[in-house]
């Protein structure tokens, strides 16, 4: 694609989705290990060759609910988005926007509940942890003085309850994709002004060019990734059916395929009609029976296995194709929409 086409493709992409960033912050209650924590002398540890890691001020279970919210939040974003330009952001298609926002809102509620519960219990958690640390320091220290010194260090590492609340946050931000037109000027001397202006203009041009050139590859990678996911799902379903663990066909296996087809539609911003048609065919031909029906009908089960095998092979074959033609069609359709809207 030429520069003009890349520029148009970027404009189309900005109408098909947004960039999303979700962050979950809470105090980890970690403290760097020292040689004394492990019963070692300082000279026995080489900073150049060894990293001693961290010790937990609080037991793992004290932060378990917050950690669970964090992992679920990241999973929601990763499952509902595509990595954008090497991972500088996550591209969220419009079709998944409402679903992802609702699920993140639910995690935000869980985060606030876990935060409030932790803050309410903090003094008790701290007291219990210090009791455990009192015993631990006596076991790992050679003398009473060393044990007391280590215990005092750990005790002093716990922040006051009043300072904790501001260290918790659950933030979700949506960004429109855009390229820099120019970079602003700060106050500089007259002699430096022209040189600085030229350097910043060149930097803005380079950044814009890099983003535009990366858009074509990004759209193609999204198409290929969805095709790979289709093939992988079929492989997983076939393996599950053949392993005997589900006694043939399980309803959860069929429901997983139904959900994947629905998710594919909402993620398919690039308009991969060929893959979507294959999935629609599978829905109409193979998902009109219950798992119980399949288990009672060996012939139907074989048809399901054959259908999944065929879908897997088609998805794998499509994933190996050059996606440039589809990307160009995506750009052309999008440009027509832009012209009609304009």
In tens, the pLDDT along 277-318 reads 999 999 999 999 999 999 899 999 999 999 999 999 999 999
In tens, the pLDDT along 82-122 reads 988 776 789 999 999 999 999 999 999 999 999 999 999 99
Residues 259, 229: contact at Cβ < 8 Å?
no
* DSSP tag of 161: G
Residues 267, 95: contact at Cβ < 8 Å?
yes
pTM for this entry: 0.76
Q: Which of 217, 275, 277, 261 is nearest to 91 (CA)?
A: 217
Give the 3-state secondary structure of residue 252. Answer: helix
Q: What is the CB neighbour count within 10 angstroms for residue 4? A: 9
In tens, the pLDDT along 184-229 reads 444 445 455 555 456 555 555 565 565 556 788 888 999 999 999 9
**End-to-end CA, the chain:** 23
**What b/e sequence results for 283-322 when a residue is b if at least 16 CB atoms lie within 10 Å of its CB, and e otherwise?**
eeebeebebeebbeeeeebeebbebbeebbebbbebbeee
Q: What residue spans of the chain are helical by DSSP H?
A: 3-16, 64-80, 94-140, 144-157, 190-243, 251-267, 273-286, 291-295, 298-319, 324-341
- Report the alpha-carbon distance of residue 72 to residue 61 in Å, rounded: 17
**How long, in residues, is the chain?**
342
Q: How confident is the model at residue 175 (pLDDT cuts 50, 70, 90)?
A: confident
- Report the alpha-carbon distance of residue 166 to residue 25 in Å, rounded: 10
Alpha-carbon Rg for the chain in angstroms: 28
Question: Long-range contacts of range 250-254, CB-CB < 8 Å, 24 or more positions apart?
Answer: 250/291, 251/290, 251/291, 251/292, 253/291, 254/287, 254/290, 254/291, 254/294
């Amino acid at each position: 694609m030429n520069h003009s086409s890349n520029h148009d493709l970027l404009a189309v992409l900005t109408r098909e989705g947004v960039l999303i960033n979700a962050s979950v912050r809470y105090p980890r209650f970690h403290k760097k290990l020292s040689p004394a924590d492990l019963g070692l002398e300082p000279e026995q540890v080489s900073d150049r060759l060894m990293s001693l890691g961290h010790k937990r001020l609080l037991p793992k279970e004290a932060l378990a609910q917050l950690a669970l919210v964090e992992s679920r939040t990241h999973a929601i974003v990763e499952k509902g988005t595509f990595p954008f330009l090497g991972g500088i952001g996550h591209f969220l298609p419009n079709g998944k926007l409402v679903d992802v926002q609702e699920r993140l809102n639910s995690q935000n509620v869980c985060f606030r509940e876990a935060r409030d519960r932790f803050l309410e219990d903090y003094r008790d958690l701290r007291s219990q942890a210090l009791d455990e640390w009192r015993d631990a320091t006596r076991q790992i220290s050679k003398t009473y003085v060393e044990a007391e010194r280590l215990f005092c260090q750990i005790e002093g590492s716990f922040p006051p309850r009043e300072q904790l609340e501001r260290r918790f946050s659950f933030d979700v931000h949506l960004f429109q994709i855009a390229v820099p037109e120019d970079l602003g000027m700060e106050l500089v001397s007259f002699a430096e002004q022209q040189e600085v202006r030229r350097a910043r203009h060149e930097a803005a041009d380079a950044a814009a060019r890099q983003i535009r050139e990366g858009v074509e590859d990004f759209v193609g990678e999204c198409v290929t990734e969805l095709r790979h996911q289709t093939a992988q799902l079929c492989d997983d379903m076939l393996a599950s059916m053949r392993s005997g663990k589900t006694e043939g066909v399980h309803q959860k296996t069929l429901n997983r395929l139904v959900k994947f087809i629905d998710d594919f539609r909402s993620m398919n911003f690039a308009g991969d009609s060929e893959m979507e048609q294959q999935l629609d065919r599978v829905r109409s031909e193979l998902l009109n029976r219950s798992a119980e029906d399949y288990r009672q009908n060996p012939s139907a089960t074989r048809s399901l296995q054959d259908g999944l095998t065929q879908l897997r092979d088609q998805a794998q074959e499509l994933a190996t194709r050059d996606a440039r033609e589809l990307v160009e069609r995506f750009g052309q359709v999008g440009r027509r929409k832009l012209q009609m809207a304009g």
